[in-house]
Amino acid sequence: MFVMSREVITDMKLRTLGRHARESLKNLGRNGWMTFASISAVAVALVLVGLFLSVMMNLNKIAGEIESNVEVRVYIDRTATQAQQDQLKQSLKSIGHVQSIAYQSREKGLKNLINSLGEGNDQSAFSSVKNENPLPDAFILKTEKPEQTITVANQVKTLPYVYKVNYGKGTVEKLFKTVRISRNVGIVLIIGLLFTSIFLIANTIKLTIVARRREIEIMKLVGATNAFVRWPYFLEGLLIGVIGSIIPIILVNVGYKAVYEKFSDAGTYSTFFIKLIPYPTMALYLSLLLVVIGAGIGVWGSVTSIRKFLRV
Amino acid sequence: MLDFKNVWKSYKNGVMAVNGIDLHINKGEFVYIVGPSGAGKSTFIKLMYREIVPTKGEILIDGVNLAKIKQRQVPKLRRKIGVVFQDYKLLPKLTVYENVAFALEVIEEHPKVIKKRVMEVLDLVKLKHKARSLPTELSGGEQQRVSIARSICNNPSVVIADEPTGNLDPDSAWSIMEIFDRINDNGTTVVMATHNRDIVNNMKRRVIAIEGGMIVRDEQRGDYGYEA
Ligand SMILES: Nc1ncnc2c1ncn2[C@@H]1O[C@H](COP(=O)(O)OP(=O)(O)OP(=O)(O)O)[C@@H](O)[C@H]1O
Ligand SMILES: [Mg+2]
């Protein structure tokens, strides 16, 4: 593994670091095309990582928000008297995992429904429904955890004076499934790409090492430490990774900004409105992550390629 | 200062190159290692600067057992030993000066010290006037002198050479030998594997003959001892 002994790092003089930096730049220049290929590979991988991360983080956020809104709607039998409704409420309370019970009158229910279908729409379209409200009164239950909705709903079904039980089964489950599948596909794709870039970096650095085998041999014969020999190649990998992350960072930032602004604009004139993770937060996270991942694969690539050349 | 205690070395392919060598070399000695081709001279030399480790036995340099030290202690050991090769091992793109300075740079010597020391050793090998030349612009003997300068620039306590005159004409070989002699006069131990009968017979130094990986002869002021 790449372990630079602490003693060596603190001992390292500034002029030595300068020498290592010059060496690594010289190496990168000498193998121009391979350097270009590795930087491009890192860039492509990181663009996809950035894209994937921004989509996944937002999907997770939205899923979380929807999840916390999952509720069980218990429609009450129209024939039930006030006393019977109270009795039903008592039995609902005694069901386990029920966090809250709210009463929704049929008038209120209709209003909410019409509102949720669209404010801007022609309200007259609903006038006939308003006159003859098809909705019964309802209790709205929230469970302690989203996955408890199904068991709670099944228990409610067996109670007397219950006309119908609804819960957002289909949509929520579909959403989670989509999130899960796209996450897995994305992860596999990205791991593949990251390894490809590590491989390319390792090869580029191997080229520069092979070209300088004799130099390394002499260095080791006259008593240079492994750390000293390793530094330029280590910096080389680091540089490839970090340079490779610049374009992805710019792209992902510009792209996310555009998408975010579009969505928040849309929010001002539509009720259907998704709240994305705010741009500044996301920009910071993504940029940091991409630099760190870039640096990581660069260093990994260089470390794997130097190891066997140091055994002199 | 240099001790071999029952040292054995067999290579991965099963070749037994060194078979039970016991040896003591004092500080400041000049020692020739002779023997037929394949006798194990190079193997013996490589054991001394730890390019290879013995299969069995101890090799002590100033009391430090080479077989036991950890990988990270090797650089410290190598800084005590100067090594000279038959093929010089110079970097073709660096000048004479830079080739010598390189050895001091990579052990992080101070730039001022480097400048002074490089000129000193180039003076010793009589190549000051070629400091700016590239190795390709030098004769074989001159290249070997550069590599000797590099091997001693760090003031090692022992200089090890594997056939340093193997590729050289007799005159160049002699000038190389004079340089080693002068290095030895300054108190540095010199151990040299060689096939050069003339030089060995004329110098009258300690001669250790190796055959089949074993010491068959060890004489103070000895002769080369093999027929031409
Ligand atoms: N790296 C190696 N792997 C396997 N066998 C080796 C290796 N190096 C040397 N040998 C074998 O070890 C034996 C001793 O070789 P060595 O190079 O020490 O001989 P030498 O005395 O230096 O010969 P020469 O005078 O020709 O240089 C030989 O039989 C050789 O084939
Ligand atoms: Mg040999």
Tokens, residue A260: 């975010």
Residue-level pLDDT at A7: 43
Range of the domain at B170: 26-54+70-219
B75 falls in which pLDDT band (50, 70, 90)?
very high
**Which comes out higher in pLDDT, residue A253 or A111?**
A253
Strand (E) or helix (H) holding B158? strand B158-162
Is B225's pLDDT higher than 60? yes
In this prediction, residues A24-29 reach a mean pLDDT of 86
Residue B7 lies in a domain: no
Residue-level pLDDT at A33: 85
Q: What is the C-alpha separation between B193 and B223, in angstroms, rounded? A: 14
Residue-level pLDDT at A1: 36
Residue-level pLDDT at A268: 53
Q: What is the C-alpha separation between A133 and A248, in angstroms, rounded? A: 55
Residue-level pLDDT at B129: 96
In this prediction, residues A121-134 reach a mean pLDDT of 67
Disruptive mutation site among B108, B114, B147 for chain A (greatest number of A CBs within 10 Å)? B108
Instruction: Tell me phi and psi for residue B54, to 5 degrees.
Output: -70, 150
Residue B65 lies in a domain: no
**CATH number of the domain where residue B95 is located:** 3.40.50.300
Residue B136 lies in a domain: yes
A306 falls in which pLDDT band (50, 70, 90)?
confident
Report the gap between the CA of B215 and the closest CA in chain A (Å).
Answer: 27
Residue-level pLDDT at B83: 95
Is A124's pLDDT higher than 70? no
> Which of chain A's residues have a Cβ under 8 Å away from the Cβ of B71?
226
Among residues of chain A, what percentage have pLDDT more than 90?
8
Residue-level pLDDT at A53: 83
Residue-level pLDDT at A226: 87
Residue-level pLDDT at A5: 45
Of B83, B105, B111, the CB nearest to A221: B83
On average, the pLDDT of chain B sits at 93
Angle at A233 between CA A228 and CA A234, to 5 degrees: 85
pTM strictly above 0.80: no
By a Cβ cutoff of 8 Å, what residues of chain A touch chain B? 5, 12-13, 15-16, 19, 214-215, 217-226, 228-229, 312
Strand order of the β-sheet with B2-10 is B16-25, B2-10, B56-61, B64-65
Residue-level pLDDT at A67: 67
Give B155-186 pLDDT, tens digit per residue: 999 999 999 999 899 999 999 999 999 999 99
Residue B169 lies in a domain: yes
Q: What is the C-alpha separation between A133 and B82, in angstroms, rounded? A: 101
Residue B202 lies in a domain: yes
Q: Within 6 Å (CB) of ligand 1, which residues are found?
A: B 11, 13, 15, 17, 35, 37-43
Residue B2 lies in a domain: no
Which string of DSSP letters, residue by residue, matches A159-173?
STTEEEEEE-HHHHH
A125 falls in which pLDDT band (50, 70, 90)?
low
Q: Which of A75-84, A89-98, A175-184, B88-97 has the lowest mean pLDDT?
A: A175-184
Residue-level pLDDT at A71: 79
Beta-strand relationship, B64-65 and B56-61 = antiparallel
Residue B214 lies in a domain: yes
Residue-level pLDDT at A9: 45
The bound ligand whose nearest atom lies closest to the alpha carbon of B44 is: 1
Is A72's pLDDT higher than 50? yes
Strand order of the β-sheet with B30-34 is B81-85, B158-162, B189-193, B30-34, B206-211, B214-219
In this prediction, residues B98-110 reach a mean pLDDT of 92
Residue-level pLDDT at A8: 45
Domains of chain A: 13-66+173-309 (no CATH), 71-167 (3.30.70.3040)
Q: What is the C-alpha separation between A218 and B84, in angstroms, rounded? A: 11
Residue-level pLDDT at B50: 92
**Which comes out higher in pLDDT, residue A172 or A29?**
A29
In this prediction, residues A140-159 reach a mean pLDDT of 81
Give B124-162 pLDDT, tens digit per residue: 999 999 999 999 999 999 999 999 999 999 999 999 999
Is A43's pLDDT higher than 80? yes
Q: What is the C-alpha separation between A75 and A162, in angstroms, rounded? A: 6
**A214 and B89 in contact by Cβ < 8 A?**
yes
What is the three-class DSSP state of B204? coil
Q: Name the domain count of chain B.
A: 1
Atom 24 (ligand 1) nearest CA? B37
